[in-house]
Amino acid sequence: MQKKVKNRTRIIALSILGIFIFSVVKIYNGFLQNEKALTEDLPSTYSLTLEDSNLISKKYQGKLKVIEVYQSKVRAPIAILDFDNKYHLIMYKMILQNDVSLENILHVEMKSVDLSTGYSYGTIGRDIIYRFRYKAGAIKPASALYLTLAGDSLQKVEINDTIINYHLLADNFSIRYSKEDPVDILVIGQERPLGETSIVPIDCLFLKRNRSVYLLLMTPINANASIEPHLLYNIVTGN
């Protein structure tokens, strides 16, 4: 009997030690990621490239004003723009491995997610109604995009080979590049008291150009305002 108790105690002790070692490794990796993230940032710029400007129809380009373009050594720029003094627009480019249709590479699941454990994330969104979180580390060309959506009043505005556009009141949504990959991008409302986050009225549009997919996110500047479901689609297509 005593031998069984000793064996059980030894197993419990080894399990606790294993959990402790695993936690220490995770924390250490997190510190390494934080240190790495600090070296990845470049000075911001305040103008769009011609390539990014051409994502918006000429009919609407005059209503755009660049707020800031976040630059990085390891991923594409992330641009924040003002549209018509009423909306914020984020633009971000993801490179694809192959030139395939958007419908074939974008996989959508309705569920709520959080940041992946053990990874460092930067944040954009000091002056907008949500936080745009992005993972530290280099980004390779993607063979697929895995999108999760959580929220209410989801509308599928447009789905075709080159444009997929959703409109919703979002709790959060995320992008990763395989089911096993960590979350690369997480969009979530600003923090509220008691650990809650704000609900974000948002237009989310994926636009395919050659071997790239552009993520465009539009939200009202005023957190109490709304956004028309077809607005971002019209801005891109010129309707």
Q: How far apart are CA 180 and CA 101, in angstroms?
A: 22
Tell me if 186 is assigned to some domain.
yes
Tell me if 139 is assigned to some domain.
yes
Tell me if 200 is assigned to some domain.
yes
Q: How far apart are CA 104 and CA 96, in angstroms?
A: 12
Tell me if 1 is assigned to some domain.
no
Which residues lie closer than 8 Å to 200 by C-beta, 6 or more apart? Answer: 129, 130, 151, 169, 170, 171, 187, 189, 219
Q: What is the pLDDT of residues 168-208, one digit of tens each?
A: 999 999 999 999 999 999 999 888 776 677 889 999 999 99
Tell me if 18 is assigned to some domain.
no
Tell me if 195 is assigned to some domain.
yes
Print the domain residue range for 224: 43-237
Tell me if 9 is assigned to some domain.
no
Q: How far apart are CA 74 and CA 92, in angstroms?
A: 13
Low-confidence ranges of the chain (pLDDT < 50): 25, 30
Amino acid identity of residue 143, one-letter, is: S
**Closest to 201 measured CA to CA, from 130, 125, 127, 146:** 130
Let me know how many helices (H) and strands (E) the chain has, helices first.
Answer: 5, 12
The pLDDT value given to residue 190: 85
Scored b (16 or more CB within 10 A) or e, 222-237 reads eeeeebebbbbbebbe
The pLDDT value given to residue 196: 72
Strand partners, 148: 109, 174
Residue whose entry in the numeric block shows the structure tokens 């129809």: 57
CB contact at 8 A, 114 and 171: no
Domain count, the chain: 1
The pLDDT value given to residue 14: 65
Please list the helix, strand and coil fractions of the chain in percent, rounded to the nearest 5, in that order. 25, 40, 30
**Residue 186 three-state SS:** strand
The pLDDT value given to residue 18: 60
The pLDDT value given to residue 39: 79
Report the C-alpha dihedral over residues 43, 45, 51, 55, rounded to 10 degrees.
120
Tell me if 37 is assigned to some domain.
no
